[in-house]
Amino acid sequence: MLVDLKRQPETAFLRDCHSQPLQQTLMDLETAFSNFFAKRAKYPRFKARKITQHSLRFPQGVVVVDERTISVPKIGLMQAIIHRPLMGIAKGATIKQDATGAWWVVFVCHIDRPDVPMTADRPVGIDVGLESFTTLSTGEKTAPPKFYRHSQKKLARAQRKLSRAQKGSNNRLKAKKRVARLHKKISNQRVDWLHKHALGIVRRFDMVCIEDLTIKGLVKTKLAKSFNDAALSTFMQRLQEKAEWHGRRVVKVGRFYASSKTCHVCHSKTALTLADRVWTCPTCCTTHDRDGNAAINILHEGLRLLAVGTTESQNAAGDGVNPAKRW
For residue 159, count CB atoms less than 10 angstroms from its CB and return exposed for 0-12, middle for 13-18, buried for 19 or more: middle
Cβ proximity to Zn ion: between 51 and 271 the closer is: 271
Among the listed residues 192, 206, 276, 291, the single catalytic one is 291
Residue 275 identity: A
Q: What angle do CA 286, 289, 294 make, to 5 degrees?
A: 100
Total chain residues near Zn ion (CB under 5 A): 6
Cβ proximity to Zn ion: between 262 and 311 the closer is: 262
Cβ proximity to Zn ion: between 145 and 292 the closer is: 292
Under rule CB under 5 A, residue 243 binds Zn ion: no
Under rule CB under 5 A, residue 119 binds Zn ion: no
- In three-state secondary structure terms, 228 is helix
The whole-angstrom separation of Cα 107 and Cα 8 is 33
Binding Zn ion by CB under 5 A: which of 108, 165, 199, 265?
265
Of 106, 107, 65, the residue nearest 88 (C-alpha): 107
The whole-angstrom separation of Cα 181 and Cα 155 is 10
Under rule CB under 5 A, residue 266 binds Zn ion: yes
**Nearest approach, Cβ of residue 260 and Zn ion (Å):** 13
Catalytic residue status for 211: yes
**Nearest approach, Cβ of residue 212 and Zn ion (Å):** 25
The whole-angstrom separation of Cα 138 and Cα 200 is 14
Q: Which residues contact 256 (CB under 8 A, 6 or more apart)?
A: none
**Nearest approach, Cβ of residue 256 and Zn ion (Å):** 21
The whole-angstrom separation of Cα 70 and Cα 79 is 6
Cβ proximity to Zn ion: between 214 and 287 the closer is: 287
**Nearest approach, Cβ of residue 136 and Zn ion (Å):** 21
**Nearest approach, Cβ of residue 285 and Zn ion (Å):** 7
Residues within window 271-310 making contact with Zn ion, judged by CB under 5 A: 281, 283-284
Binding Zn ion by CB under 5 A: which of 70, 93, 126, 263?
263
Of 253, 325, 327, the residue nearest 296 (C-alpha): 253
Contact residues toward Zn ion (CB under 5 A) are 263, 265-266, 281, 283-284
Residues annotated as part of the active site: 127, 211, 291
